[in-house]
Amino acid sequence: MTIKEFRQSLRRGIGSAIIEISNSNDKEKYIDIVEYYCKRDISYDVQSEGTKSDYLYFAIWYLDEIEYFEEKIIKRFLSKCSDNLCAQLARLLYLFGNIGYQKSIDALVQKYEYFNRKKGRLTNSIKYNEAYQREIIVEHLFYLCGFPYFIHFADTLGQELLLNPDNTQHIKDWDWFLYCAEKFFSKKRIETYFEKNYGISESITAYMDFCNTLKTTQTENRLSIENHTITVQEVINTVRASVNKQFPRTGASRYRTWLHTKATETEISEIKELLKQEEDDNTKALLLLLFSTPKMAEYITIDELIEYACSDSTTIVESVIEVLAHLKDRKIHDLAIELLMERGIESGALRLLVENYRKDDDALIQSLIIKLGSVSHHIQMDIASIYQHHRSANAFPILFKVYQKGDCSFCRERIVRAMNHCGVLSDELLNECLFDSYDRTRKYAKRVISARNRRKN
């Protein structure tokens, strides 16, 4: 493995980088590279794949340089860092602390206390949310230091509420904090503590009253939404207002469930007619999205949808693909091939092959995939879906390219499953997956290896 290949594999969280370190007789050449990625956020999507902390910990372990990395990571952690980087570094320090490195525990406590000294006046921006970072840290302290840190944090939140009752933005994820605490210490222990201290501790009382008020508000909001009667005019007004927003699909998409479950045939026909008459491409694209469920897709003929797909508007074509993706028809297969050949693999047309794939499509897919320097998330998802639904002995070059060049480790797990489904997952690659950055990939590899060993015996 070249240094360039090592860097790419390490950044993506692929197990081959860890195996390279463990087998190398010259581990020192990798220290600076591993340090570089430890001190930078290398996650693709923390919400879906988590951090790559455990994976980087594997690298540090095989380098046999924990003390060196602990010092570097503590220094970076105690400085200002983004939310994702804070999560990555905090998890690394937790892993060090869990095997007895006290300096790592002390660093977590130090940053936790730094946030507490701000008495609720915590910075909140897109990439730097101190309340979120504090919750990440205290979750690790639950594990390392036990129940006293739950008591301390609940008391701290209550004190901040007493100091400034109107400043509650930093406690908006109160239910996540309680979920984590219940996971570590049991729901009964948490409830017992609150019951014993409610009305006795002023801060705990303030915190519980705040939580109960939020619960009531959430229930009232839910009931209000459930009891609200949606009209066609409301849907159209919302869709048109959404066009110029940062995330236009959000406003329109929330009406899909209504159209699918509660709208009358007359209301569905009205919206379909408005779709035909709409002249603005972006509005038309959002109206099409309302029909992107298996049931609703049947309300527009395949020929009508294919006609929409001939539009020069990228947004309309994307919406058409979302609707047609639920249907199976020769015409849809032909449209997918046409879009892939004319507009390329980034057109999103791969998604149409999940239901409409044919074995002779492999050659075209491979010719498009092989040109990519990196594979985007939606292509990873579509390739995984195609080959998890269909078997092809010729799929390995496609799947292996996506495995190596895809940035999302969550999707990579599905690619590994697709390899196994197609019968092209080698023992060597399975062993590599034992060191992948995504925990589900590691667990899946262990299960497959165990199954194969049982069959051999």
- What CA–CA distance (Å, rounded) separates 43 from 51? 6
Beta bridge partners of 332: none
pLDDT score of 186 more than 70: yes
User: Per-residue confidence at 124, pLDDT binned at 50, 70, 90?
Assistant: confident
Say if residues 336 and 352 touch (Cβ distance below 8 Å). Answer: yes
d(CA 158, CA 386): 51
pLDDT for 217: 86
Band of pLDDT at residue 252, cut at 50, 70 and 90: confident
Reported as a pLDDT band with limits 50, 70 and 90, residue 345 is very high
Q: Of 296, 316, 315, whose CA–CA distance to 306 is shortest?
A: 316
pLDDT for the residue numbered 173: 67
pLDDT band at 242 (very low <50, low <70, confident <90, very high): confident
**Average pLDDT over the chain, rounded to whole?**
92
Smallest CA-to-CA distance from 170 within 182, 153, 186 is with 153
Stretch 360-364: mean pLDDT:
96
Given a contact cutoff of 8 angstroms between Cβ atoms, the answer to whether 299 and 332 are in contact is no
Residue spans per domain, the chain: 3-227, 230-310
Q: For the chain, what is the largest distance between any 2 Cα atoms, rounded to a whole number of angstroms?
A: 73
- For residue 60, what pLDDT band results from cuts at 50, 70 and 90? very high
Cα–Cα dist 143/141, whole Å: 5
Determine what percent of the chain is predicted with pLDDT higher than 70: 99
φ/ψ of 124, rounded to 5, equals: -140, 105
The single residue listed with the structure tokens 């459930």 is: 226
Q: b vs e for 401-413, b when ≥16 Cβ sit within 10 Å of the residue's Cβ?
A: bbbbbbbbbbbbb
**How confident is residue 78, by pLDDT bands cut at 50, 70 and 90?**
very high
**pLDDT digit string (tens) for 282-339?**
999 999 988 888 888 778 889 999 998 988 899 999 999 999 998 999 999 999 999 9
Tokens of 255: 């009406």
- pLDDT tens digits for 92-108? 999 999 999 999 999 99
**pTM (2 decimals)?**
0.89
In contact, 419 and 396? CB cutoff 8 Å:
yes
The one-letter amino acid at 67: E
Q: Which value, to the nearest 10 degrees, does the dihedral of the CA atoms of residues 39, 44, 48, 49 take?
A: -60
CA dihedral sign of residues 410, 415, 420, 425: negative
**Contact call for residues 235 and 264 (beta carbons, < 8 A):** no
How many angstroms separate the CA atoms of 440 and 343, rounded? 34
Average pLDDT of the residues in 222-241: 86
The pLDDT of residue 53 is 96
3-state secondary structure at position 375: strand
